[in-house]
Amino acid sequence: MIHIDVKTHKEGDTDLDRTQDVRPEQISSDEQESYVHDARGPLGDCPPRLPPYYIFGPNLLKVTVSAFVICAYRFDEANRYQYLTRIQLFTVPNGIMRAVSDYSDIFQPGKDGRQGHRYRVNLPGLAGHESWRWREIRYQARGFEVTR
């Protein structure tokens, strides 16, 4: 099952190209319902809420994938128009992947602090594990170009 969340950012926002907030309802757990961890320990007020997989019947199991789309735009004040400048796609490791590999360097406390309801995903750190996990498609005058 694929879960998709769409976020928007104005060009120049400090989070853009750096970190993104995600909530427990947007990512999957492992089978033990463990919390997301950073280098210092558990984060958030609850473990991730999505199951690591869905069972649809005998021999029919679908793994949970959490994908995020970031639409970055530039606002043209004179014409009162927003221009799409680029789209970033990122995928947080499934709870099962986090249980077998150390992804603690991609998570950090969210805007609400260590015990808050959100975490931040470090996008360059995420791409450092698997480059395909964070991609960018940028609008150019001649069309769209994959730039990351």
Percent of the chain at pLDDT > 70 equals 100
In a 10 Å sphere around its CB, with 0-12 CB exposed, 13-18 middle and 19+ buried, how is residue 12 labelled? exposed
- Mean residue pLDDT across the chain: 92
pTM of the model: 0.89
Phi first, then psi: give them for residue 97, nearest 5 degrees: -65, -40
Distance of alpha carbon 101 from alpha carbon 93, whole angstroms: 9
Band of residue 6 on the pLDDT scale cut at 50, 70, 90 = very high
CATH code: domain of residue 38 = 3.40.600.20
Asked if pLDDT for residue 133 goes beyond 90, the answer is yes
Helices (H), the chain: 95-100, 123-129
Asked if pLDDT for residue 105 goes beyond 90, the answer is yes
Residue 53 sits in which domain range?
Answer: 2-146
Strands (DSSP E) along 12-146, which ranges?
19-22, 36-38, 41-43, 53-57, 60-63, 65-76, 81-92, 107-109, 119-122, 134-140, 143-146
Q: Per-residue pLDDT tens for 40-72?
A: 999 999 999 999 999 999 999 999 999 999 999
Mean pLDDT (whole number) for 123-129: 96
Asked if pLDDT for residue 87 goes beyond 90, the answer is yes
In a 10 Å sphere around its CB, with 0-12 CB exposed, 13-18 middle and 19+ buried, how is residue 100 labelled? exposed
Mean pLDDT (whole number) for 70-76: 94
The structural domain count of the chain equals 1
Band of residue 1 on the pLDDT scale cut at 50, 70, 90 = confident
